Amino acid sequence: MNSNNVFSPIRYLTTTTRSCSGLCGPAVRLLMQHYGLTEKDVKASGPKGNVLKSDVADVIKASNLKPIAAATPSHEPITSQKDVMKHSTQKTKEKFVDIPLSNIRATIARRLTQSKQSIPHAYLSAVVYADAVLNLQAKLLNDGIKVSLNDFIIKAAGLALRAVPDVNVQYSAETQQVIYMPMVDISVAVATPNGLITPIVTSADILSVQDISVRVKELAARARDNKLMPNEFQGGSFTVSNLGMFGSVDQFTAIINPPQSAILAVGGNRVELDKDLKTRNRFRSEHFLADVTLKKRGVDKVSVNNLKDKVLLLYFSAGWCGSCKMLTPKLKKFYEELGETERSNMEVVWISRDKTAQDQLDYYEKAMPPWCYIPIGDPNIQGFLEKYSVKVIPALKLVNDKGEVLSETVRADVEGCVKNDAMRCYKKWKDMY
């Protein structure tokens, strides 16, 4: 580009711009093209009538010629900023949006960065077969006691810390001392809309698994509502971080939460065959709704065993939503058009966005068949909204027992089907399992 901010012309040398025959060399030919000359303009002085470079130079000097720009093959050269914009063929949009960090996210980032830089992390991993604890969990469920696999893990960690007090410690950076903790207090990582927080289950070693379950649910709900007191999430001697509910996460590395000295990262589970071709559970084969309170018309507690190996729809909607009031009758009609066998092998779980429990029940009784629903107030509702990225209702998701989405087009399938088409859609969904 020259000093006048004009782009220098681009020269294209093509077969259509040849200026002489084979009686001149490439350098001579290029020089002639550069000044717009042809054989007829230059008197050849070389052997056998060849045009020499000096012949061309004599003509240039005698005629006081200046270089010219060769014509471009298909378009004029771009010579200004305006031309650049004129030749643009696609409008662009903003590629990113700056979102300021909340105070809690900034604190999390600062503390964990400091932890990773100042605390020497040593990672160990182990495979744990969960058959026995899953069998115990199922037995307790039959007795009406609902606890999660994570509750057992917290209890086991509590007993291990009591047995190995050298791990049940905090480190004081101010005094540079290791502090042995008199109690076994375990932090549980909970994701909230504002960021990650670690409420503490105090005396985890002496609490029953059922008591731990109640305590964790209470703390998680208050954490999501931003109602925890400082003493309920600051301190502790150990943290359990569980990503097993996401199914595909086998293992991960976690960062120690200072002033604690250790953290347990729990991955997912898979079912394996042993050498005798018998199945063994490696965290976790339980249904992704195993820890969720489910109800339906006439049934106060729905066993998750009733959902296993079925076509499963998650229906996000609310009674106040106009679009939901249009979709719900269509989904109900679709469901009722299936045969009895197909309905027995399909479940719809309604995840309500109603504001109160009474609003939820009123809409359920008025508009819905005896589908399962998660009662208002259950902290898992917010978790599912985040997990499945539900920003707008109504929304329908076809999922498997691990909670993995098999189809995002369920709403279109339901709205597009007419009479006698319900079976076709059902078979299409069934083939995805």
Question: What's the CATH code of the domain at 353?
Answer: 3.40.30.10
The predicted pLDDT at position 252 comes to: 86
> What's 176's domain CATH number?
3.30.559.10
Q: Do 134 and 32 fall into the same domain?
A: no
Q: Do 237 and 128 fall into the same domain?
A: yes
Any residues with CB less than 8 A from the CB of 97 and at least 6 apart, and which? none
Q: Do 42 and 180 fall into the same domain?
A: no
3 located within any domain: no
290 located within any domain: no
Q: Do 207 and 117 fall into the same domain?
A: yes
The Cα 189–Cα 244 span in angstroms is 13
161 located within any domain: yes
Q: Do 210 and 115 fall into the same domain?
A: yes
Query: Shortest CA distance to 351 belongs to which of 305, 397, 309, 306?
Result: 397
Query: Shortest CA distance to 167 belongs to which of 238, 115, 266, 242?
Result: 238
What are the φ and ψ backbone dihedral angles of 162, each rounded to 5 degrees? -65, -35
Q: pTM for the whole thing?
A: 0.47
The Cα 266–Cα 245 span in angstroms is 10
> Furthest-apart CA pair in the chain: how many Å?
111
Q: Do 280 and 335 fall into the same domain?
A: no
The Cα 150–Cα 426 span in angstroms is 34
For the stretch 49-70, what's the b/e string if a residue is b when 16 or more beta carbons lie within 10 angstroms of its beta carbon? Answer: eebbeebbeebbeeeeeeeeeb
Q: Do 129 and 261 fall into the same domain?
A: yes
The predicted pLDDT at position 92 comes to: 59
Q: Looking at 250, 284, 318, which one is the last position of a domain?
A: 284
Q: Could you tell me the residue range of the domain that residue 54 belongs to? A: 15-86
Query: Shortest CA distance to 108 belongs to which of 242, 240, 255, 2?
Result: 255
Q: Do 275 and 404 fall into the same domain?
A: no
49 located within any domain: yes
How far is C-alpha 223 from the geometric centre of its chain's CA atoms? 22
Q: Do 82 and 111 fall into the same domain?
A: no
Residue pLDDT tens, the chain, 433 long: 444 444 444 343 443 344 555 567 778 888 888 888 888 888 888 777 788 888 888 888 888 888 876 544 445 555 555 555 555 555 656 677 787 877 878 888 888 898 898 888 988 888 887 888 888 888 888 888 889 889 999 999 999 999 999 999 999 888 889 999 999 999 998 888 777 889 999 999 999 999 999 999 999 888 888 888 888 888 899 999 988 777 667 788 899 999 999 999 998 777 666 666 666 665 544 578 877 889 999 888 888 778 878 899 999 999 999 999 999 999 999 998 888 888 888 999 999 999 999 999 999 999 999 999 999 988 889 889 988 999 999 999 999 888 889 988 999 888 887 555 788 888 889 888 8
323 located within any domain: yes
- The two three-digit tokens of residue 48, written as one number: 């056998």
What are the φ and ψ backbone dihedral angles of 129, each rounded to 5 degrees? -85, 125
The Cα 408–Cα 316 span in angstroms is 13
107 located within any domain: yes
401 located within any domain: yes
The predicted pLDDT at position 321 comes to: 94
Three-state SS for 294-330 is: CEECCECCCCHHHCCCCEEEEEEECCCCHHHHHHHHH
Query: Shortest CA distance to 341 belongs to which of 256, 242, 423, 271?
Result: 423
137 located within any domain: yes
Residue 421: C-alpha distances to residues 244, 337, 407 (Å): 37, 9, 18
Q: Do 46 and 127 fall into the same domain?
A: no
Let me know if 80 is exposed, middle or buried by CB neighbors in 10 A (0-12, 13-18, 19+).
exposed
Q: Looking at 235, 253, 284, which one is the last position of a domain?
A: 284
Residue 411's SS3 state is: helix
Please tell me the total count of domains within the chain: 3
Q: Do 42 and 144 fall into the same domain?
A: no
E strands, 67-185, in order: 169-172, 177-180
Q: Do 77 and 171 fall into the same domain?
A: no
